[in-house]
Structure 1
């Protein structure tokens, strides 16, 4: 089975900025200044060319995030339920078939993240087997992956992910059941792990001391 390539206009970029910033003293991480701009602005600049639309998941300072040039969505609950809750908000709000997620504190985000995740997901879908169908069934269902995420030699980076919008209902049920682990949810859906050779693009800022001293190159 040949699967059509996933084009940028079929993807909404989602910047995940809905956390408490606990390791940053409660500061809103995505709005911390770096090289003259908020951290989230660097992520947006690198993500925007890879997608057809853009959203920011934020649970506070919505006006400040909206000023960065994207629509803002918030979690369905106000308990700061983690990245999966932000992903769900993005999947519900997106008008495209796919959502490409990245955290707000990754100013070196790969400029080929979307391209590589899309290629891997399309390739995996092309090789997905048909499931034998029962007699008289009108169609044979196809088992195919609906998500892909980045990894390096240092480990997985599951919040750098490509998600099909049909995952939204399952994700909502997963959160309702109390599961908040991104890797566990992706593993259950047999998400495709895509290996990147360089760890640097996935550097993320957890504390004020983690803010880099060098400026990210232009995407």
Structure 2
């Protein structure tokens, strides 16, 4: 079976903003001010043009995320699993909520995320030869791809087919919370990006006070 190309309208963007914010003293990281606006807004503004719809995964302050406006976000969702179970739990919530075949994920603390993230991950899946396709009969292309640079993998920057939701739920129930390990089980395609700067993440209160490195 030949796959049709993945289109922007086939993708729901998902900003992962449901963490504990431990390195920020327990603050809700996505809502912290950075360069004049909440950190999550930077990620949303860069991801929104790449997708057909955009969701935010948040486990607290839901009203504050919803107040960011429908021009940026189409909905705010929370983890099915309680007690801040990590990015895989946010990804599961996104896969369950999406009305599209694919979900494109990115963390809320990456204000300079690549503006061609979706395009390049889609291209990698579209280009896979049939002999290497570990998908399903109805969708023979690989079911996931994620970003990497020379400095290492960035598995939370991922494009995932929503058919993996049940497997992800079972994985979490079994106690596995490592994003890269789960993606590896599905032979996710690693896509190399040449520049580390777009994957810069804001982790601490001190990081909020700097605007370096600047967006590429």
* TM-score normalised over the length of structure 1: 0.90
The equivalent position to 1:184 in structure 2, one of 153, 156, 181, is: 181
Using the TM superposition, give the Cα deviation of residue 4 of structure 1 relative to its aligned residue in structure 2, in angstroms: 1.7
Q: 2:98 aligns with which of 71, 88, 94?
A: 94
Find runs of 4+ consecutive structure 1 residues off by over 3 angstroms: 125-131, 139-144, 214-218
Q: Quick check: 1:47 aligned with 2:44?
A: no
CA–CA separation in structure 1 for the residues paired with 2:109 and 2:10: 25
Report how many aligned residue pairs link the two structures. 211
Task: Specify the alignment match of 1:10 in structure 2.
Answer: 10
Aligned match of 1:134: none
Contact 2:3 2:139 in 1 (8 A): no
Are the equivalent residues in 1 in contact too, given 2:16–2:56 (CA < 8 A)? yes
- Partner SS for 1:56: strand
> 120-129 vs 153-162, which deviates more?
120-129
Using the alignment, how far apart are the partners of 2:32 and 2:109 within structure 1? 9
- d(CA) in 1 for partners of 2:12, 2:80: 19
Please provide the CA RMSD for this pair.
2.2
1:61-80 equivalent positions in 2, closer than 5 A: 61-69=61-69, 70=73, 71-80=75-84
Question: 2:134 touches 2:187 (CA, 8 Å); kept in 1?
Answer: no
2:155 maps to 1:151? no
Larger radius of gyration: 1
TM-score w.r.t. structure 2 length? 0.91
Unaligned runs of 5+ in 1: 132-138
